[in-house]
Structure 1
């Protein structure tokens, strides 16, 4: 969160993006995309609660 700089977040870390007011959903999807987390695993193992869609 404090070290991974993401281009999609305008060169900020997820922590910096959240502090700047970027919507958590946007930060989450940017981080998952950068780490190649598949859609099916972005919200853990709870099949009743999928990750919110990216905007």
Structure 2
């Protein structure tokens, strides 16, 4: 992945965390290399749907 690609992902994940779509394993840490369990996936989809309304 290019540096620009990593920067775009970083910005997107930062936005998602600020908007409450993503939460991490700690107050300041996401776990991007880990698989999401069902409840985490549903929680992210629910948060996205509420933003879209």
With normalisation by structure 2, the TM-score equals 0.32
More helix by share: 2
Structure (1 or 2) with the larger CA radius of gyration: 2
User: Which of 1 and 2 has higher RCO (CA within 8 Å, sep 6+)?
Assistant: 2
With normalisation by structure 1, the TM-score equals 0.31
